[in-house]
Chain A
């Protein structure tokens, strides 16, 4: 028997045959959900082997390492109840954690609330860029939900649809927030690029449905036109685009229901430099099942892309259990699988 976990993080034991069966079922689920090709038999066999290594911590062959990017970089350590500023936070990422990149971010990690304080953000970000070496992103979420009532000015489409049954009004509200979101994303990104950012990270894209994705694509397109050399990373919020509107298109493609291998093609057309797909974890399934499903969808995304793919692997995504303290046995197996089998460009 081999130790592994459920998607919730709970420790369990499985036989080799049970692990293989769950991996095959995870691959089947990905094929059924995303309409992608399954993993090859030798890839499934390697994934089984990775789960049957008794060691708690496993690693990759020398020379096959991946690079890393992050979301919410310089506000992550604050969440651990450590009293430090964002510049020191970034330096710790660079000099202590030895990450390949760093990210500067505001604690209210959305473009809308950053807009009125952008001058202050520029000053501190500029200082951070002058005392670090690794490439540094400025990151935030499009988070179009902030444009809806009660915190925003637009009618909440969920309320409009459920309580009033007024679908055209709900759709108009979503369309309006796309315009507002693009304006704020371009404004803040432009300010951060002009102060020296190495890259802009649009994070948790799609969290408010396909309008959120559309705003991010349009913002990327505008920024690419303004600054041909700009680096834009787009990290997704979930595995498929929620159809809150149902009829929003980008370059003739309806956005609702797109899976990672379809999302990346639009991101590339919009001028995105690095794409970060997400596959959600099912907590009542095993880690072998979840990792197999994630890997199948991520691999299809990588094959459909000509830009670098940084797979999202963390709390509740990419095969890593849904826990604020991800277990190292699961994170290392996920990392090795993403590098060896998924052939990702980064995590």
Chain B
């Protein structure tokens, strides 16, 4: 789906966290990000959204959230627990 270029990793997280089928996972993420399902795989739109929400980008600037901080933001936006954030979160 494009991973961090799009919302692929976020959809993947919903399958992993809640065993959601693909359609349900996409709708859940789209709802949380307030975009359409089609937007989730639009890398231009998603790059802006990821930057705004601090969800991690392929080429982050030095001021942006990366790695664990980005994962902590993902957990908050998607309302899920991320194991490594629970253990090492900031």
Contact = CB atoms under 8 A, between A and B. Distances in A.
A199 interface: yes
Contacts of A63: 37-38, 40-41
Given A65-B2, A130-B68, A133-B66, A100 B19 contact: no
Interface in B35-90: 37-38, 40-42, 55-56, 58, 66-68, 70-71, 74, 81-84, 86-88
A74 to B, nearest CB: 15
A98 interface: yes
Interface residues of chain A: helix, strand, loop or mixed (majority): loop
A196 B2 CA distance: 24
Interface string A307-332: 11000000000000000000000000
A95 interface: yes
A154 interface: no
A298 to B, nearest CB: 14
Interface of B: 1-6, 8-9, 11-13, 15-17, 19-22, 25, 37-38, 40-42, 55-56, 58, 66-68, 70-71, 74, 81-84, 86-88
Nearest to A98: B3
B2 A273 contact: no
Contacts of B58: 95, 98
A131 B16 contact: no
A197 B83 contact: yes
A91 B83 CA distance: 19
B4 A101 contact: no
Given A133-B56, A133-B67, A196-B83, A308 B8 contact: no
Interface of A: 62-63, 65-69, 94-95, 97-101, 126, 129-135, 193, 195-199, 229, 231, 273-274, 306-308, 344-346
A222 to B, nearest CB: 18
Nearest to A231: B16
Nearest to A305: B21
B16 A98 contact: no
Interface residues of chain B: helix, strand, loop or mixed (majority): helix
A133 B17 contact: no
Given A62-B38, A65-B41, A133-B67, A94 B3 contact: yes
A101 B12 CA distance: 7
B89 to A, nearest CB: 10
Given A65-B1, A135-B9, A345-B22, 15 more contacts: A62-B41, A63-B37, A67-B1, A67-B12, A97-B3, A98-B58, A100-B9, A101-B9, A101-B16, A131-B67, A133-B66, A135-B13, A196-B88, A198-B84, A273-B15
A135 B2 contact: no
Given A63-B38, A199-B16, A229-B81, A133 B1 contact: no
Nearest to B5: A98
11 contacts: A62-B41, A65-B1, A65-B2, A67-B11, A129-B84, A130-B68, A196-B88, A198-B82, A229-B81, A274-B15, A345-B15
Max chain B Cβ within 10 angstroms of own Cβ: one of A67, A197, A308, A346: A67
A306 B17 CA distance: 15
A196 B87 contact: yes
Nearest to A273: B19
B18 to A, nearest CB: 9
B22 A66 contact: yes
B61 to A, nearest CB: 15
A67 B19 contact: no
A196 B84 contact: yes
A193 B81 CA distance: 13
Contacts of A68: 1, 8, 12
